[in-house]
């Protein structure tokens, strides 16, 4: 189910008009209408404001969008498939990196899977986090900084690091890069806790 359909259903369940949701969230009614019709993709910051206006945690909103309920007769079955481009896509604030969340919401997931699309010439901040992280370069080239060391990885290369090691990502100025990241840190929950804007 698309994020637009989920938001429309939640708004109607809450008996809110677009105008009322606009007043509660601080986002324009026209923008909210475009989101519900999947004309535009909201940033994580916008979704945070919408979920707050609906009285829901952001993680709940994202899990509703990502569950992928099967159309089989037993509607409680969760589909194990995430088709190309169907994962929840987000950008943090005005950040340059585009993320696609590929993890299906189970009761207590042990890991999270996200693709990072890094624009040419971009370098993220150096950060630490809890847990461990594995990355696999899908296409292009990325520049991985871990502590004082810098590594250039191309499609097919992989890495594994501890989250407590200061690290960040970049792409050469000539071309973008895309990396698949599997992390034991929950990215969305971390964002909600820290309020970090990339």
pLDDT at 57: 78
Q: Which domains does the chain have, with CATH numbers?
A: 3-66 (1.10.260.40), 88-194 (2.60.120.10)
Residue 154: pLDDT band with limits 50, 70, 90: very high
DSSP 173: T
pLDDT digits (tens, 9 = 90+) for 96-121: 777 777 766 555 567 888 888 999 99
Q: Give percent of the chain with pLDDT exceeding 70.
A: 68
Residue 1: pLDDT band with limits 50, 70, 90: low
pTM beyond 0.85, yes or no: no
Query: Do 102 and 82 contact (CB within 8 A), yes or no?
Result: yes
Give the three-state DSSP class for 102: coil
pLDDT digits (tens, 9 = 90+) for 121-152: 999 888 888 888 999 999 999 999 999 999 99
What is the rounded CA–CA span in Å between residue 131 and residue 16? 40
Those residues with Cβ within 8 angstroms of residue 194's Cβ, 6 or more apart along the chain or in another chain? none
């Amino acid at each position: 189910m698309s994020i637009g359909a989920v938001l429309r259903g939640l708004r109607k369940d809450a008996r809110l008009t677009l105008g009322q949701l606009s007043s509660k969230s601080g986002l324009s009614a026209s923008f909210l209408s475009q989101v519900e019709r999947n004309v535009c993709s909201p940033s994580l910051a916008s979704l945070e404001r919408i979920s707050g206006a609906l009285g829901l945690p952001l993680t709940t909103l994202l899990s509703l969008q990502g569950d992928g309920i099967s159309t089989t007769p037993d509607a409680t079955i969760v589909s194990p498939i995430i088709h190309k481009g169907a994962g929840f896509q987000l950008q943090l604030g005005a950040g340059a990196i585009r993320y696609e969340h590929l993890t299906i919401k189970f009761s207590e997931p042990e890991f999270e899977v996200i693709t990072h699309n890094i624009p040419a010439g971009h370098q993220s901040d150096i950060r630490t986090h809890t847990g461990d992280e594995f990355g696999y370069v899908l296409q292009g080239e990325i520049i991985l900084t871990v502590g004082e060391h810098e590594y250039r990885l191309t499609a097919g290369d992989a890495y594994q690091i501890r989250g407590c090691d200061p690290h960040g990502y970049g792409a050469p100025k000539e071309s973008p890069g895309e990396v698949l990241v599997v992390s034991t840190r929950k990215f969305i929950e971390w964002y909600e806790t820290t309020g970090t804007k990339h």
